[in-house]
Structure 1
Amino acid sequence: MSGPSERGLRLVHAHGERIAISEVSTGVELLNYVYRPEAAWESPKPYLHPLRTLAGNVVTDYRPNDHRWHKGLQMTASHLSGQNLWGGNTYVHGKGYLELPERVGSMAHVAFDEVTAEGGGAVIAERLTWHPYDGELWAEEERRVEVHDVDAGAGSWALTWSSAVTNRREVPLRFGSPTTAGREMAGYTGLFWRGPRSFRDGRVIGPESEGPDLMGRQAPWLAYSAEHDGTDGHATLVFAHAPENDHSGSRGTHPAHWFVRNEPFAAVAPSPAFFEELELAPGDTLARRYRVVVAEGAWEREDIVKYLAEHPW
């Protein structure tokens, strides 16, 4: 299916493969949502790649040579009740990263409930299932990816990623990370962005400070700014928690901490299980909502604060 919205978005669905969303006036393809199955070793799952700025510059990486399972922006579960729904080698305390294919699971596309582009926005609403290596049903997910706030004047657009994962086992699901398994400051899991190779050594900005020492910190948002290869200029990505995520755990929700690196590669994840495992009881649902702003230029903290204030949840 395809068609332009009145305010300038076009959606094209290659059934069984991918969904592309483009800005009509420039023809720039802002994103591809790829849901076809890929290599088992890389933990097959849907992902967004490439993501582009309104100027057409790519701000994600795909299957880099250091981690073939890093694919754009994707939902991951690096340590899930002893299984790896992230891909590649699995961290084992005292032994490091090991090739354990019997631990590598998958997140499978089931169906789309909505695929639309209208009124200046676009929506992809999907149902998925989560599986360990043996294919047993462990969880069902309802996912929603929305594209909105496309602003040519500001050179920015945004997407909101919502995910609700329900435990279908008869025992709790334990969400963890390499850090909960014993590796210090490697709490990656959950929604994960991998930046292009040129984004290495980029600038990491938080609400009150900046730098890679924001690893493991708590904050309502975090931004990453870097320079492109091949074309002049920078891009800034802002990653933000929805208020209901209760990222600090002040209202009783499991706390979240930022995983962020600018060396040896660019990566950001609002990890829901950085330092401590998150336990999801049978039948319970883990719901999280995030916003990712893709902007042209090197935004300063005041630019980010102003944008977030002008675009409330």
Structure 2
Amino acid sequence: MDDQLTLVQTLPLILGGLTVAEYVWRPHVPNTLSPRPFLHPVRTLAGTTVTEVMPPDHLHHLGVSVAVPDAGGANFWGGRTYVQGQGSIPLPNHGVQRHHRWEAKTDAVLAHELHWIGPDGTTLLRERRRIAARPVDDRAWALDFRYALQNLTAEPLVISSPGVKGRTGAGYGGFFWRARRGQNNVKILGPDVAGEARLHGSATPWLALSASGPEPWTLVFIDIAAQRDPWFVRGGDYVGVGPALAWEEPLTAAPGEGPRRRIITVVADGDLGPRAIEGLVEAVAASPAPREA
């Protein structure tokens, strides 16, 4: 539903002369979707799009973004809010992530400060975000995504999720990638394990989506900093992956503090198997981290 995105401002991520992703740093979407910067389209080196934005099943899924269903009572995920005992209901509690200032803008690195603003106009969190495109080999590149949140209020700020509030398996929130299935079949793989049932809620060092069909691709999500957040993963009604900040327990940030996270996602052409995926993980782990912006 890309035609619903108007009046946006974007910047490309470029590797070897190829635009591998577009960063929508100033979006224009309905308030009920919790407006926030996002990456879309993200492409393989061969040009296959591997993200989806505002799909009919979940309009609030915006490509690759940082989205939290409850931060200090504000909905930064979009859509309905889960209320214990009532289920998911529409509430006027949507926040917005607003660009504040750039810290770096190059072909392959984008870094900026964002403010997370609640529905009453209060700035709840400051975020520093750094996104870098890194070469891997002739079939793959890597998206190195870091973010650090800082509580700007005078009181402890609680980050929560439907999983914390009693909805089993719904501990989503944090970095989230909505993938484009298209006409492909998608497998979910991990180290010596496969399938959504076994990997959903696990804390494996990496998790991969491998899509076979007319436009094959593979995404490998690497917990490069060994943060051990449980994986939220879906492969049935839709395809999406994200390491969860608050799976079953809330995350409480003291004033001036907050979570810092880093995840590297390898974007590869082809329907890769476990051995090839392990090779990509090893290659990324062995490569030097890019210089800080």
User: What is the TM-score with the length of structure 2 in the denominator?
Assistant: 0.90
The alpha-carbon deviation at position 234 of structure 1 amounts to: 0.9
The alpha-carbon deviation at position 197 of structure 1 amounts to: 4.1
Match of 1:212 among 177, 196, 204: 196
Which residue does the alignment assign to 2:3? none
Which residue does the alignment assign to 1:104? 94
Which residue does the alignment assign to 1:251? none
Q: Distance in 2 between matches of 1:172 and 1:242?
A: 28
Which residue does the alignment assign to 2:217? 235
Which residue does the alignment assign to 2:144? 160
Which residue does the alignment assign to 1:194? 178
The answer as to whether partners of 2:111 and 2:130 remain within 8 angstroms in 1 is yes
Where does structure 1 differ by over 6 angstroms across 4 or more consecutive aligned residues? none
What do the CA deviations read for 1:86-135 (whole angstroms, capped 9, x no partner)? 1111111221111102x111111111111013xxxx11011000111111
The answer as to whether partners of 2:185 and 2:212 remain within 8 angstroms in 1 is no
Q: Distance in 1 between matches of 2:166 and 2:74?
A: 16
Distance change >3 Å, CA 280–CA 180, structure 1 → 2: same
Unaligned runs of at least 5 residues, structure 2? 1-6
Give matches, 1:32-111, under 5 Å.
Answer: 32-38=22-28, 39-101=30-92, 103-111=93-101
Unaligned runs of at least 5 residues, structure 1? 1-14, 248-255
Q: Distance in 1 between matches of 2:144 and 2:227?
A: 17
The alpha-carbon deviation at position 29 of structure 1 amounts to: 2.7
Which residue does the alignment assign to 2:169? 185
The alpha-carbon deviation at position 82 of structure 1 amounts to: 1.9
Match of 1:295 among 268, 271, 278: 268
Match of 2:111 among 114, 125, 133: 125
Q: Distance in 2 between matches of 1:306 and 1:92?
A: 43
Do structure 1's residue 147 and structure 2's residue 129 form an aligned pair? no
Match of 1:135 among 121, 125, 131: 121
Which residue does the alignment assign to 2:242? 269
Q: What is the RMSD of the two structures over their aligned residues, measured on CA atoms?
A: 1.7
Distance change >3 Å, CA 197–CA 234, structure 1 → 2: closer
The answer as to whether partners of 1:198 and 1:227 remain within 8 angstroms in 2 is no
In structure 2, what residue type is equivalent to 1:142?
R
Which residue does the alignment assign to 1:5? none
Which residue does the alignment assign to 1:21? 13
Q: Distance in 2 between matches of 1:298 and 1:90?
A: 36
What do the CA deviations read for 1:18-46 (whole angstroms, capped 9, x no partner)? 10124455xx4310100224221111110
The alpha-carbon deviation at position 175 of structure 1 amounts to: 1.2
The alpha-carbon deviation at position 196 of structure 1 amounts to: 1.4
The alpha-carbon deviation at position 310 of structure 1 amounts to: 2.0
Q: Distance in 2 between matches of 1:59 and 1:199?
A: 12
The answer as to whether partners of 1:200 and 1:263 remain within 8 angstroms in 2 is no
> SS at the partner of 1:140?
strand
> SS at the partner of 2:277?
helix
User: What is the TM-score with the length of structure 1 in the denominator?
Assistant: 0.85
The answer as to whether partners of 1:178 and 1:188 remain within 8 angstroms in 2 is yes
Q: Distance in 2 between matches of 1:98 and 1:134?
A: 19
What do the CA deviations read for 1:280-309 (whole angstroms, capped 9, x no partner)? 111113211110110001111111211221
Distance change >3 Å, CA 93–CA 199, structure 1 → 2: farther
Q: Distance in 2 between matches of 1:281 and 1:140?
A: 13
Do structure 1's residue 246 and structure 2's residue 227 form an aligned pair? yes
The answer as to whether partners of 2:187 and 2:211 remain within 8 angstroms in 1 is yes
> SS at the partner of 1:202?
strand
The alpha-carbon deviation at position 273 of structure 1 amounts to: 0.9
> SS at the partner of 1:291?
strand
Q: Distance in 2 between matches of 1:200 and 1:222?
A: 18
The answer as to whether partners of 2:131 and 2:143 remain within 8 angstroms in 1 is yes
Distance change >3 Å, CA 182–CA 32, structure 1 → 2: same
The answer as to whether partners of 1:200 and 1:265 remain within 8 angstroms in 2 is no
The alpha-carbon deviation at position 205 of structure 1 amounts to: 0.4
Q: Distance in 1 between matches of 2:114 and 2:272?
A: 35
Q: Matched residues, percent identical?
A: 37
> SS at the partner of 1:138?
strand
